[in-house]
Amino acid sequence: MKKALSSFDVAAIVNELQRCVGWRIDKAYQPAPRHLVLAARSPHAGKEFLHFRVGEWIYVTASADEMPREPSDFAMMLRKRILNAAITGIRQQGFDRIVVIDLEKDERYQLILELFGKGNVILVNKGFIVQPLTSRAWRHRDVRAKRPFEFPPPIPDPSWLDAPELLSILSQSDADLVRTLATKLNLGGTYSEEICRRANVMQGKPAGDATEEEAAALTTAISDVAAEARTSRRGFVVTRKGGQVDVTPLRMSIYDAHDIEEFSSFSESIEEYVRRMPPPSPKKTKATDGKDHDIEKLKRKLVQQEEAAVSLQNESVGAQAAGDAMYAKYGDIAHILMMARDKLSQANALDDLPGFLSFDKRKGLLRVEIDSAVYELDVNGTVESNAQRYYEKGKKMKGKLEGVLPALEETRNALTEWKRDRERAEARSAPKAKPTKRFWFERFRWFVSSEGAIVLGGKDARTNDMLVKKHLEAGDRYAHADVHGAPSIVVKMREGVTEATLMEACEFAVATSKAWNAGIGSAAGYWVLPEQVSKTPQSGEFLARGAFVIRGKRNYAPKTEIRLGIGEMTYEGERKVMCGPVSAVKRACTRHLVIKPGDIEKNLFAKRLAEEFNVPIEEVQSVLPPGDLEIVERSGTSLEISAS
């Protein structure tokens, strides 16, 4: 299974990304340590998302999953410097697996996306590194902030080789032909096999035995493959026995015996390929005895610091209160002090003083109890000086407390971070829910009507276009809603389908539109025939991407309350999570919920429902309506979620 893009693949994706030149950077996100997302505004198509999975993949999507609310340090750095910057160029660095994005704002920047090795993201300004995602140093290359930026040593472009040059390279190799092409020319194993197949040369023969004629055939095949990759407008996902094998920008003869799914762009095929990839196996994390011991020491330290803080707080407050109380008992204390000095001057004992407890002759401190409160008095002082002693003590304790509190907070933060790390490790090691079988229609919003018809809905402008152009056929029906930002809906008609399914399609169009977040309560939808749907606007008018012109009579459904059902159903023997009109969900799902716009955060609901139905959270997120929600009815499940 392919794990990353090759140099030919990078050439193909860079060719596709030329349409992004002129766009402006809207936001930068880092949803995972090795996943950077740049939201960019297109002058005509709205916002799209450039995904870079470090060292592996680069592709553009029309929509994206929920991004982190708090940006990472690296994402924040990018936002500060390139927010609203224009993309002025996108290119491949030589034949290497490096994409260079030229950006211009107040200053000019280069964003370097490296797909070789472990990969990296590097922001460069005036030839110096502003910040890399990962700092690294080699003998001839230092990738750290404020250092001069240098590309790695260039890799020759094999498409420029002539037959004698290739023959010279092959003659110096001890490996077979396909391995030599893969390593010496940086073609990778798959493309090397394809080139040998096209050149009609045995890939297993020793490279040193290649003839001039074979070298000529190989150079022609290399040039042909390079040209196809650099001009490709399509993408192909290769599968075999249900498992993914490869994603390529061109059809390869080595995959003639495989199943091949074609996409309208290479970027779209990469997006689908990456989405279908199984999650990485969780790494086992072992807490060492040393770490456990350190945590126990940290816990004991926290207890000691908390006790010290409480003690200092009590002493500070108590000393302040004692000073105040001495003024309240001014006469009593003044009388005791006068009596004590008289007795001491006559060398008499102090035992008969009012409230006498003890006397420290060396320090001259007298302890007495007055109205159940104990005071320590300097017999040579006044009431005022003794009160001031307590006030000074209170200030001293408060000062110590202010010194303890930051250390206490630091210890608490260290423990909190340790707990988070442990929870993350446990989450990574916990068994993941297995994805359910994916069907062709899940590229769109979808549901199965109460009469068994497949109903499809666009998720964004791109899928609206794709849905109508590829899947709206004669005999089908098209539905929409009288709401701005409503998706295109296609009803795949079949025998036995009646007005009930069309009403459900209209309800689906309303509920999956921007009406969900608008707080309007209800809205109307309508359906038409395929021949009434056109991409040709009236003369002088502009039609945005994903929009269509409807001509002729519209068949309106009654206004419907904005709500949907979501539940667990079986389709062709496979378990799926379906979200659609309440009537369709109740017909198909034994366990289901009815939801409407509300205050429960969408991702929290998705997480809890994924746990309830034992499916990956992505499968729930992909079918949910576009906003927060509220549960209004449940059947077969006791799931309870409160608004956060």
Mind spelling out the 3-state secondary structure of 255-299?
A: HCCCEEEEECCHHHHHHHHHHHCCCCCCCCCCCCHHHHHHHHHHH
Integer Cα distance of 625 and 443 in angstroms: 15
Domain boundaries, the chain: 7-143, 156-231, 289-428, 440-635
Instruction: Single out the residue of 103, 51, 50 nearest to residue 81, CA to CA.
Output: 103
**Which numeric CATH code is attached to 156-231?**
1.10.8.50
Fold match between domain 7-143 and domain 156-231: no
**What's the CA gap between 345 and 156, in Å, rounded?**
105
Task: State CA 191 to chain mean position distance.
Answer: 32
- Alpha carbon 258 to its chain centroid, in Å, reads 33
- Residue type, position 631, single letter: I
Q: What is the pLDDT of residue 66?
A: 79
Which residue, chain included where needed, has tokens 């260039």? 154
> Running along the chain, 644 residues long, what does each successive block of 10 average in pLDDT?
92 94 94 93 84 95 83 92 95 94 95 93 95 83 90 87 92 91 90 94 91 94 94 93 91 93 94 85 47 75 87 90 92 92 88 90 90 90 93 90 85 83 69 84 94 94 91 95 90 92 96 89 92 83 80 93 94 94 94 93 90 91 92 88 66
DSSP string of 22-69? T-EEEEEEEEETTEEEEEEEETTTEEEEEEEETTTEEEEES--PPPPS
DSSP annotation of 581: -
In this structure, which CATH number among 3.40.47.10, 2.30.310.10, 2.40.50.100, 1.10.1510.10 belongs to the domain 7-143? Answer: 2.30.310.10
Element (H, E) at 511: helix 499-511
Q: Are 283 and 264 in contact (CB under 8 A)?
A: no
453: left (phi over 0), alpha (psi -120 to 50) or beta: beta
- The identity of residue 520, as a single letter, is I
Cβ density class 39-57: b for 16+ within 10 Å, e for less: bbebeebebbbbbbbbbbb
Q: Give the phi and the psi of residue 176 in degrees, each rounded to 5.
A: -75, 175
Contact criterion met (CB below 8 Å) for 584 and 448? yes
Neighbours of 622 (CB within 10 A): 19
Buried b (16+ CB within 10 A) or exposed e, 413-425: eeeeebeeeeeeb
The dihedral sign for the CA sequence 155, 159, 160, 162: positive
Encode 376-385: b = buried (16+ Cβ within 10 Å), e = exposed.
Answer: bbebeeebee
Residue 353 makes CB contacts below 8 A (sequence gap 6+) with 336, 339, 340, 343, 366, 368
The pLDDT of residue 302? 87
Cα separation, 245 vs 256, in Å, equals 13
C-alpha radius of gyration, the chain, whole number = 37
Structure tokens at 212: 């001039």
